[in-house]
Amino acid sequence: VGVAPFLSIKEAIALLRLASLVVSGDTFALQAACALDVPVVALFGPTNPRRNGPFRDRDKVIYE
């Protein structure tokens, strides 16, 4: 759901806590979801996921 431009950081974190899965590029949402222990599907372009994570076995990384 593309609501990020309309939410404060506090509101975004509250929304992420409710998620059962987060699909995101290498953004605040991805890092916050990992910090909140929410499963993620991480989408990476030029950024190497080995540098920025996610680092948990259950998370999925798509890297091109």
- The closest alpha carbon to 36, from 62, 64, 15, belongs to 15
pLDDT at 55 over 90: no
Residue 2: its pLDDT value, please?
64
Domain count of the fold of the chain = 1
Reported pTM: 0.82
Residue 26: give the domain boundaries.
Answer: 4-63
- CATH number of the domain enclosing 57: 3.40.50.2000
| Structure confidence by residue, pLDDT tens digits, 9-52 | 999 999 999 999 999 998 899 999 999 999 999 999 888 888 88
Query: What are 3's two structure tokens?
Result: 């609501």
